[in-house]
Amino acid sequence: MSAVETFAAEAHGINKRFGPIEVLHDVGISIPVGDARALVGRNGAGKSTLVGLLTGLYGANAGEIRLGGRPAPSLGDRQGWRERVACVYQRWMVIPHLTVAENLFLNNQPRNGLGLVDSRRLREESIAVLDDWGLDVAPDLDAWRLTVEQRQIVEIARALLQGSRFIILDEPTAELERREVNRLFERIRGLQEQGVTFLYISHHLEEIYEICRTVTVMRDGRVVADARLDDLPKDRLVAAMVGDFAASGAGRKSGDSASKAQMAPGLDIGGLTLKDSLEDINLSVHCGECVGLAGLAGSGKDKIAEAVAGLLAPDAGTIAIHGTKTPLGDVGAMRAAGVGYVARDRHVSGLFPLMSIGDNLTTTVLPKLGPFGFVSTGRQSDMVDRQIAELGIVATSGSQPIGELSGGNQQKAMVGRALASDPKVLVLAAPTQGVDIASKDALYRIINAARDRGMAVLVVSDDLDELAICDRVEVIFRGRLTRSFARGWNDQDVVAAIEGLY
Amino acid sequence: AMLMPANAESIKLGYSAPFLTDPFQAIMANQTLKAVKDAGMEAMPATNANGDAGKQATDIRNLISAGAKVLIVNPTDSQAIVPVLEFAASKNVPTVLIDIAPAKGKSAMIVRADNKGIGGKACEALGAAIGGKGKVLSLMGDQATTNGRDRTTGFNECMKAKYPDVTIIEQPTYWKTDKATSAAQTVVTTTPDLTAIYMQSDSVMLAGVLNVLKSAGKLTKVGEPNHIFLATVDGTPYALEKIREDLLDVAVAQPLDLYAKFGAFYAKAAAEGKTFTAGPTDHNSEIVPVGDNLMDYLPATVVTKANASDPSLWGNQTEK
Amino acid sequence: MTNISLEKAAIARPGQSLFARFRLRELVLIPVIAVVIVIGSFVSSSFLMPENLLNILQQSSELSILVIAQSLILICGKFDLSLESTVGIAPMFAAWLMISDVSIGGSGIGISGYAGIAVVLATGLLIGLINGLLVVKLRLNAFITTLAMLILLRGITLGITNGQTLFDLPEEFLYLGNAKWLGIPASIWIAGLLFLFFGLMMRYHRIGRAIYAIGGNPEAARVAGIPVERITLGVFIMGSLLASLAGLLLTGRIASVVSSQGQNMIFYVFAASVIGGISLNGGQGRIIGALTGVLLLGLLQNVLTLSQVAAFWIDACYGAIILLALIITRLSGETPRA
Amino acid sequence: MTNISLEKAAIARPGQSLFARFRLRELVLIPVIAVVIVIGSFVSSSFLMPENLLNILQQSSELSILVIAQSLILICGKFDLSLESTVGIAPMFAAWLMISDVSIGGSGIGISGYAGIAVVLATGLLIGLINGLLVVKLRLNAFITTLAMLILLRGITLGITNGQTLFDLPEEFLYLGNAKWLGIPASIWIAGLLFLFFGLMMRYHRIGRAIYAIGGNPEAARVAGIPVERITLGVFIMGSLLASLAGLLLTGRIASVVSSQGQNMIFYVFAASVIGGISLNGGQGRIIGALTGVLLLGLLQNVLTLSQVAAFWIDACYGAIILLALIITRLSGETPRA
Ligand SMILES: Nc1ncnc2c1ncn2[C@@H]1O[C@H](COP(=O)(O)OP(=O)(O)OP(=O)(O)O)[C@@H](O)[C@H]1O
Ligand SMILES: Nc1ncnc2c1ncn2[C@@H]1O[C@H](COP(=O)(O)OP(=O)(O)OP(=O)(O)O)[C@@H](O)[C@H]1O
Ligand SMILES: [Mg+2]
Ligand SMILES: [Mg+2]
């Protein structure tokens, strides 16, 4: 070890503004070569912004960034950045209409003697990579056809392929299955042994203890702690993240009040069948009950949610709300019947990124906000202010475009929209994805409160934390409901059932 | 030289129009094709170049490859037509040009009225009526077209020479009714001492201009005090009617009927291999040599109330 | 969740400043407009005469109705290029039906002026319906579909009348484009009321908000229960209906229907909408902004007409100033709208 | 990785089927083109004559060069409406410099024909550079920027020459638009070679792939180390350069430069590109597809001229068939390209 420690990345005195809003205040971070650094903080703390600065996505308003001991390249020198840092961003960075193979080797294609892209080698090398990651897709499939999980793996694989000695991962596991997470971790460990430096962001703190050595904690755009993880037990880490706010139960938080299921029918799904996806699904959720629906990607769990939301018309079956059958495949009718829905993919199916937070929160309740379809701005902003406070959305005001919020805060707004119409049935697909540990708690509390008011809640997820608030968990495997677990299950059994191992 | 009368099989004639959205062009296309049929030739459907010289070259090549034995062409542009004429000549297809003379190139006959002369005639009628002074609004056609340019040049040169005290307010209108109307409205309402308006096409501009004058309270009958003198080019039925109603002072009528009639006549003759010589014609015009070509220089008639009902004006012939 | 941390968060963040509120995208053109007015008053003493100002408004009225139409469609995330040909074909078809004299290009049917107005609007409605169905049901790209429609409708307009101009239309038919109400041309009143109506609707009515949502993210709108297809179809129909109304007003003003009516107008419709802040990507912009765009173009046109700029250079000036306005609005601190 | 598993993977992988491969977007127009050819040969016996077929190709050559230009720009996720005015202004400016006779609209300078060609291309390059800088550096919206540019350039073209047509141009200047090589017009060779070159480049060269990546997701492309700004600028320049070349060929064909040169061409450029499968959203489509689009329009134009359709209805037929082609390509199982 030389006397002067070399750093894979350093940032000193960084200030970053978006328009008039300063989101990073005098941030400094130094990551020595070979370190595995975790970056944690609540939603909107500024983690992704810092990542953007460390990878040259945008420039800082003040401060210095150094990579590998040298000053960072100019913003225009994309190749320069690429040589020194690889990154999996929180936002998707795939090119939808290029093939999987081209996405894997974007701007890095194997070339033949003429300097042209060698499509045969491109295909072969891609197949090798895909097999390596256990991804069963054709290399010439257009990337937009990939599922969320597959897309995420392609991005991770691409970043690791780049051969960079410094790799940043911004919530890479938010969309992944356990099996894939394990595969990723194996790979990260392998690279760590070769001396590759990592900066790792996640809201799953157990992951951080699993693969990171040190941690930097951010709060409200400032670095509040730098420590070795060995010295920082989980409760203190959480305390550092949330500041003076005392986290009650760090993440895993079951419903505090025992279920008061009223046995009145809330949501009744009978004989739901969809070609190649669902077979005779019967599921009911009582008023005041919260049921979890767990399954792998492609198991059909999201299809059930979409059917209840009216987004797809099943081939057979019935859906009843409070005992009344509803027309299938009609979103408007489902809303009218009292279904509130949070879609799995908020970017595609949830957000109106350019519209204000207020407009996003009140999309489904505008008719209630004034006569003849006119919206009373006063009533709208009252409602919005109340919701922002209840949900703990971090924003400058209700009129800020929601696209400017951090991922977790956007997700809170999605839950807020579903609740705004005071529905009878609440269907939530992965409702707390990307939400920080303390905000998760708040969301669980809100969901529990809704349930206690008599709402029937269906949580569609394979996240054990999310399932933990449920009174009952139904497991779906390959389009069929296979097991049901009452409160008090143990995690291993549920996981085994999800994976199809009885 | 008429050993082989071409009527063994009827002569196929192609007509290439520069554009058809102008009523003058539309009527000319219809009348010419009618005259062609009357002359016993087989008329192929007219082509429409939509104002595009390149498209017209394409059209003419297409007509020739579709078997046209003779062409009547109303060029979009006097220069851009030159290589097309050369091409037609190389294929031994004679061409008769109407309305616009080519800058160069071989054609059997050019049938046209002098558009500079038309501008000049409008200027003379107008200049005399306003006593050689005042402000004249000149509503120009599309200056990217030969006729538009010639009508501007003829008018302006005459004004400069004969009525130098007249102020000309030029407004481009691109042969567009709404542009002409808006420009007229702006100028009429902001120029209290406007004395006259020169319109380069009554088929496009007259209705709108009359409407502008009416809403500005400045529409008076010919001869009334403060009357704004109106002169137009074309001589459409509508314009003649307005002259008869004492709302329009002068229209310089193009000999559209003669374009059609003699276009067809010369085309047939050319297809039959006849040639022509310079000199006076039987229809009150003169064939004059221009470059290598001959041009039947048809007279443009200045129409006033005195002759507005003359049945020989084309504007009085379309109704049946 | 305790309120403590929330309040802290709320306080820590600088709110939208008064400054930011004043830099509303909709006000960006105001200084540019002011400059044009000042220049205009130097260029010609008659520029500021009330009569001339009314001219500007009247001459802009048809364009502005088209701009409202295009703005609705753009905000909804679509395009309609065929609006310009609707301006021509709707009154042309009605005029053809109204004129009983076959020799001057009529159909010989001779319907009344009132029936003619109904035909204009019905034609607009039908065109909007066809465009809408092609885009919504067949999911064709709106830009290219309406481009094909533009070529088709232009062609039909030419075909109906063989290129002739139709004159001598009934008084009732020309009324709206000519009449004055309280000394101000009816078309100004109509355009003004439409701006007011659609401005309020887009801002305060839930259908307006739904149109923004559809333009911003159609899939999310669908999931949120907004009847995306129905509203998009409605927007197309409303757009064409407005275009046919613009055609009716234009016909009244020029007292005739020409077969090239409306041609090239779409360029100026886009120019006005976009410099007025309507985004081509959907979901952004305000009707009031579009109004400033129309006013700027109308003023420019008028100033250039009154100025001593040589006729041949007027177009170049016009283009240069539009480009300049774009650059100014961009540099005035607007976030770019890709 | 062993070869064994590769083979296995190739077999087992549920990729795009052979069937899907055959339904390539690029081949969708082939049946439509075939139908038009069959109809053409019925309509006129001269349709299939080699001379007529060469006519079609020559007449399409300028349009097709513009279509290549627009396709590059569209695939890169941008727009360039000003291409049509570049077709006019680039040769106009050169002609103005070449003509020494001031009385016929020249500048009096009288540069040579070869210098003239250089001026044409330099003008194209400059326009592309300006467009590119406005879009890339100022981040103005490409559609509206190039629309303003279109109006401006058209205006300048008119202004330079007061609307006159410029003629009596040097032989060398007209050569490319006139010459025949091996009995086939040079412009066909040029267009053909350009299709080949850009077709291969877009498919197999990494710059081509980079353009697709930029059009598909510019941010992702940037992150992957692609110099997005530089390439986008390059694409704008290349587009304008090609447009100026098209203008040179057109000028050679009509032996003069008219001030309306190129006008309205952009509509057909878009129509050809899009029915040929180039997406207006960027990142999709192939140069070969664009070629089929151009061919379809060229054939149609020719067949309509040869047919007995009345001139007044030709435009309507044209529009109707474009619309039909759009619907057919859509219904032929393509995923909609929004
Ligand atoms: N483009 C932008 N414009 C304005 N504000 C922005 C923009 N991008 C981010 N912000 C703001 O910057 C702050 C930090 O956001 P950032 O995405 O860095 O948070 P994060 O720590 O990554 O949160 P999460 O855990 O939810 O991903 C947030 O308050 C967000 O609203
Ligand atoms: N539009 C599409 N085109 C082609 N294949 C698709 C398409 N949509 C989904 N698939 C494929 O269908 C399979 C099932 O995906 P689907 O989205 O239906 O799963 P799911 O039941 O919703 O599961 P999850 O829990 O992951 O959301 C996946 O392998 C996916 O790649
Ligand atoms: Mg983040
Ligand atoms: Mg799914």
Confidence grade of residue A260 (pLDDT, cut at 50, 70, 90): low
The burial class, CB within 10 Å (0-12 / 13-18 / 19+), for C295 is buried
pLDDT tens sequence across A207-226: 899 999 999 999 889 999 89
Phi-psi region of C148 (alpha: psi -120 to 50; beta: other; left: phi over 0): alpha
Pairing of strands A316-321, A324-325: antiparallel
Task: Give the span between the Cα atoms of B163 and B120, in whole angstroms.
Answer: 12
pLDDT attached to residue A339: 93
Task: Give the span between the Cα atoms of C305 and B183, in whole angstroms.
Answer: 7
Q: Smallest Cβ distance to B65: which of D51, D164, D258? A: D51
pLDDT tens sequence across A429-443: 988 887 888 788 888
Q: For residue D194, is pLDDT > 60? A: yes
Which of A336-345, A460-469, B246-255 comes out lowest in average pLDDT? A460-469
State the residue for tokens 């929330």: C6
Q: Output the residue whose Cα is nearest ligand 2's atom 3.
A: A145
Query: For the domain bounded by A3-94+146-242, which CATH number is listed?
Result: 3.40.50.300
Helices (H), chain B: 23-38, 53-65, 82-90, 115-129, 146-162, 177-190, 202-215, 237-244, 256-271
Q: Do D15 and A94 touch (CB under 8 A)?
A: no
Tell me whether chains C and B touch (3+ CB pairs under 8 A).
yes
For A359-399, the DSSP string reads: HHHSTTTGGGGSGGGBPPHHHHHHHHHHHHHHHT---S-TT
Most confident of A198-207, A395-404, C27-36, C69-78: C69-78
Confidence grade of residue A238 (pLDDT, cut at 50, 70, 90): confident
Q: For residue C19, is pLDDT > 60? A: no
Task: Give the span between the Cα atoms of A143 and A95, in whole angstroms.
Answer: 7
Considering every ligand atom shown, identify the ligand nearest to the alpha carbon of residue A349 and give its number.
Answer: 4
Question: A290 C-alpha vs ligand 3 centroid, how far in Å?
Answer: 29
User: Where in chain A are the domains?
Assistant: 3-94+146-242, 257-351+423-498
Its ipTM equals 0.84
Q: Is residue B53 a contact partner of residue D335, using CB atoms and an 8 Å limit?
A: no
**Is the minimum distance from the CB of A174 to ligand 1 under 6 angstroms?**
no
Q: Do B45 and D307 touch (CB under 8 A)?
A: yes
**Is the minimum distance from the CB of A111 to ligand 2 under 6 angstroms?**
no
pLDDT tens sequence across A349-368: 889 988 999 999 998 888 78
**Is the minimum distance from the CB of A52 to ligand 1 under 6 angstroms?**
no
The burial class, CB within 10 Å (0-12 / 13-18 / 19+), for A365 is middle
* Residue A242 sits at the chain C interface (C-beta within 8 Å): yes
pLDDT tens sequence across C38-81: 999 998 888 898 888 998 999 899 999 999 999 999 999 999 99
Q: Do D336 and C140 touch (CB under 8 A)?
A: yes
Q: Which long-range contacts link B210-217 to residues 24+ away (Cβ below 8 Å)? A: B210/B242, B210/B247, B210/B248, B210/C255, B211/B181, B211/C178, B211/C253, B211/C254, B211/C255, B212/B181, B212/B184, B212/B185, B212/B188, B213/B188, B215/C178, B215/C180, B215/C185, B216/B185, B216/B188, B216/B189
pLDDT attached to residue D73: 97
Which residues in chain B have their CB less than 8 angstroms from residue C46's CB? Answer: 189-191
- Partner residues linked to B138 by β-bridges: B170, B198
Per-residue b/e over C302-324, b at no fewer than 16 CB within 10 Å? bbbbbbebebbbbbbbbbbbbbe
- How far, rounded to the nearest angstrom, does the alpha carbon of residue C23 sit from its chain's CA centroid? 24
Q: For residue D301, is pLDDT > 50? A: yes
Q: Name which residue leads in pLDDT, C27 or C79.
A: C79
pLDDT attached to residue D25: 61
Q: Do A352 and C5 touch (CB under 8 A)?
A: no
Closest ligand 1 atom, residue A411 Cα? 26
Helix-strand-coil percent breakdown of chain B, rounded to 5? 40, 20, 40
Q: Do A374 and C205 touch (CB under 8 A)?
A: yes
Averaged pLDDT, A80-90:
88
**Is the minimum distance from the CB of A61 to ligand 2 under 6 angstroms?**
no
**Is the minimum distance from the CB of A151 to ligand 2 under 6 angstroms?**
no
**Is the minimum distance from the CB of A90 to ligand 1 under 6 angstroms?**
yes
Q: Is residue C135 a contact partner of residue D337, using CB atoms and an 8 Å limit?
A: no
Q: Name which residue leads in pLDDT, C13 or A6.
A: A6
Token reading at D223 = 């992150």
Question: A298 C-alpha vs ligand 4 centroid, how far in Å?
Answer: 6
**Is the minimum distance from the CB of A202 to ligand 1 under 6 angstroms?**
no
Q: Return mean pLDDT, chain B.
A: 87
**Is the minimum distance from the CB of A298 to ligand 2 under 6 angstroms?**
yes
Pairing of strands A197-201, A166-170: parallel
Which residues in chain A have their CB less than 8 angstroms from residue D137's CB? Answer: none
Considering every ligand atom shown, identify the ligand nearest to the alpha carbon of residue A406 and give its number.
Answer: 1
Q: For residue D3, is pLDDT > 60? A: no
Nearest Cα residue in chain C from A343: C223
Pairing of strands A480-486, C184-185: unpaired
**Is the minimum distance from the CB of A45 to ligand 1 under 6 angstroms?**
yes
Task: Give the span between the Cα atoms of C7 and A25, in whole angstroms.
Answer: 20
* Residue C250 sits at the chain B interface (C-beta within 8 Å): yes
pLDDT attached to residue D23: 47
Averaged pLDDT, B287-315:
88
Task: Give the span between the Cα atoms of B207 and C252, in whole angstroms.
Answer: 10
Nearest Cα residue in chain B from C164: B23
Token reading at B27 = 């009527």
Q: For residue C335, is pLDDT > 60? A: no
Q: For residue C311, is pLDDT > 80? A: no
Task: Give the span between the Cα atoms of D47 and D39, in whole angstroms.
Answer: 10
pLDDT attached to residue A395: 87
- Partner residues linked to A328 by β-bridges: none
**Is the minimum distance from the CB of A126 to ligand 1 under 6 angstroms?**
no
- What are the Cα distances from residue D88, in Å, to B299, C305, D239? 35, 25, 14
Pocket test for ligand 2, best of A147, A301, A303 (most atoms within 8 A of CB): A147
Which of the listed CATH numbers 2.60.40.790, 3.30.470.10, 3.30.70.890, 3.40.50.300 matches domain A257-351+423-498?
3.40.50.300
Most confident of A68-77, A89-98, A167-176, D233-242: D233-242
C-alpha triplet A334, A467, A460: angle, nearest 5°:
30
* Residue C107 sits at the chain B interface (C-beta within 8 Å): no
| Cα Dmax for chain C | 84
Percent of chain B with pLDDT over 70: 96
- The half-sphere exposure of A223 on its side-chain side, counting CA atoms within 13 A, is 19
Those residues whose beta carbon sits under 5 angstroms from the ion ligand 4 are A 302
Closest ligand 2 atom, residue A149 Cα? 26
Q: Return mean pLDDT, chain D.
A: 86
For residues D17, D23, D25, D28, the Cα torsion angle rounded to the nearest 10 degrees is: 180
Percent of chain C with pLDDT over 90: 55
Strand locations in chain C (E): 180-181, 184-185
Q: Do D151 and C267 touch (CB under 8 A)?
A: yes
User: Where in chain D are the domains?
Assistant: 3-331
Which residues in chain A have their CB less than 8 angstroms from residue C198's CB? Answer: none
Q: Which helix (H) or strand (E) holds D299?
A: helix D287-306
pLDDT attached to residue A4: 56
pLDDT tens sequence across D128-165: 999 999 999 998 889 889 999 999 999 999 888 887 78
Q: Smallest Cβ distance to C16: which of A244, A377, A397? A: A397
Considering every ligand atom shown, identify the ligand nearest to the alpha carbon of residue A438 and give its number.
Answer: 1
Could you tell me the end-to-end alpha-carbon distance of chain C, in angstroms, rounded to an integer? 39
Confidence grade of residue D328 (pLDDT, cut at 50, 70, 90): confident
pLDDT attached to residue C70: 97
Considering every ligand atom shown, identify the ligand nearest to the alpha carbon of residue A304 and give its number.
Answer: 2
pLDDT attached to residue C25: 61
Q: Output the residue whose Cα is nearest ligand 1's atom 1.
A: A404
Per-residue b/e over C55-69, b at no fewer than 16 CB within 10 Å? bbbbbbbbbbbbbbb
Task: Give the span between the Cα atoms of D112 and A71, in whole angstroms.
Answer: 52
Confidence grade of residue A177 (pLDDT, cut at 50, 70, 90): confident
Residues of D at the A interface (Cβ-Cβ below 8 Å)? 1, 5-6, 9-10, 12-16, 200, 204-206, 209-210, 212-213, 216-217, 219-229, 279, 283-284
CATH class of C3-331: mainly alpha
Those residues whose beta carbon sits under 5 angstroms from the ion ligand 3 are A 48, 90, 407
Q: Do B23 and C259 touch (CB under 8 A)?
A: yes
Which residues in chain D have their CB less than 8 angstroms from residue A96's CB? Answer: 216-217, 283
pLDDT tens sequence across D9-53: 333 344 444 444 444 566 778 888 999 999 999 888 888 888 888
pLDDT attached to residue A427: 95
Task: Give the span between the Cα atoms of B183 and B187, in whole angstroms.
Answer: 6
pLDDT attached to residue D332: 66
Q: For residue D313, is pLDDT > 90? A: no
Averaged pLDDT, D240-258:
93
Q: Smallest Cβ distance to B54: which of D46, D178, D253? A: D253
Helix-strand-coil percent breakdown of chain D, rounded to 5? 70, 0, 25
Question: D259 C-alpha vs ligand 1 centroid, how far in Å?
Answer: 53
Which residues in chain B have their CB less than 8 angstroms from residue D51's CB? Answer: 65
pLDDT tens sequence across B55-93: 898 889 888 888 899 999 999 888 888 889 989 999 999
For residues C143, C149, C153, C156, the Cα torsion angle rounded to the nearest 10 degrees is: 150
For residue C256, the 8-state DSSP code is: S
- What are the Cα distances from residue B92, in Å, to B85, B87, C62? 10, 9, 51
- Partner residues linked to D306 by β-bridges: none
Q: Return mean pLDDT, chain C.
A: 86
Confidence grade of residue D310 (pLDDT, cut at 50, 70, 90): confident
pLDDT attached to residue D239: 97
For residue D285, the 8-state DSSP code is: -
pLDDT attached to residue D162: 80
Distance from CA of D10 to the nearest CA of C (A): 34
Confidence grade of residue B197 (pLDDT, cut at 50, 70, 90): very high
pLDDT attached to residue D16: 47
Q: Which of residues 425-464 of A touch C (CB under 8 A)?
A: 438-439, 441-442, 445
| Global confidence as pTM | 0.86
Task: Give the span between the Cα atoms of A242 and A231, in whole angstroms.
Answer: 18
Percent of chain D with pLDDT over 70: 90
pLDDT attached to residue C332: 67
Q: Do D222 and A78 touch (CB under 8 A)?
A: yes
Q: Is residue A213 a contact partner of residue A36, using CB atoms and an 8 Å limit?
A: yes
